[in-house]
């Protein structure tokens, strides 16, 4: 694998970014934002008709949309942190570690393809967003690489 790998200190940076942004993202998903956000009444109406808002007021859906965008941003930043961790060098980087890294990528892809085919075979109507596959790939790769490195080194 002849790609440029980040220096070893980026491993700590990536792990810290992943942990911090994962907790922030999880907090946005679990905390009821009505206590901490702008106190606006929640109006249930159709998408085009907002009878209780004037032209200058913010519509209720736009507040939910901005919260979703912020939560989505924190999720993306946690994935970037995990990606930085994946691409960082080990303390001792040699050809054998590169071989283990490549075998881990290969095994991860094969396992995810098998899981995807089995999932599709039994649950045809299951709709999942891309981030489930992305997160599963990166975490499964790190687990496989960790065990391969511990077994063979």
Global pTM value: 0.68
Region of 59 please: left (phi>0), alpha (psi -120 to 50) or beta: beta
Confidence of residue 63 (pLDDT cuts 50, 70, 90): very low
Dist CA 86 CA 68 (whole Å):
27
Q: Which residue has the higher pLDDT, 98 or 16?
A: 16
* DSSP tag of 34: G
The sign one gets for the Cα dihedral 153, 138, 26, 71 is: positive
pLDDT reported for residue 55: 53
- The ranges assigned to domains in the chain are 1-89, 91-153
The sign one gets for the Cα dihedral 117, 119, 125, 126 is: negative
> Coil, strand, or helix at residue 65?
helix
The sign one gets for the Cα dihedral 27, 30, 35, 41 is: positive
Residue-by-residue DSSP string for 41-53 = ------SS--TT-
- List pLDDT tens digits, range 93-123: 888 888 999 999 999 999 999 988 998 888 8
Residue 12, pLDDT > 90, answer yes
Contact 100, 148 (CB under 8 A): yes
pLDDT reported for residue 146: 92
Confidence of residue 153 (pLDDT cuts 50, 70, 90): low
């Amino acid at each position: 694998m002849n790609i440029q790998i980040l220096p070893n200190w980026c491993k700590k940076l990536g792990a810290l970014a992943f942990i911090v942004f994962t907790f922030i993202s999880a907090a946005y998903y679990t905390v009821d934002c009505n206590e901490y956000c702008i106190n606006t009444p929640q109006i249930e109406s159709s998408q085009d008709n907002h009878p209780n808002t004037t032209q200058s007021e913010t519509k209720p859906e736009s507040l939910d949309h901005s919260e979703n965008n912020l939560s989505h941003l924190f999720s993306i930043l946690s994935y970037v942190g995990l990606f930085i961790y994946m691409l960082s060098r080990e303390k001792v980087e040699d050809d054998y570690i590169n071989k283990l890294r490549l075998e881990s990528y290969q095994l991860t892809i094969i396992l995810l393809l098998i899981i995807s085919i089995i999932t599709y075979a039994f649950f045809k109507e299951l709709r999942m967003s891309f981030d489930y596959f992305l997160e599963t790939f990166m975490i499964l790769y790190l687990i496989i690489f960790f065990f391969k490195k511990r077994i063979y080194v």
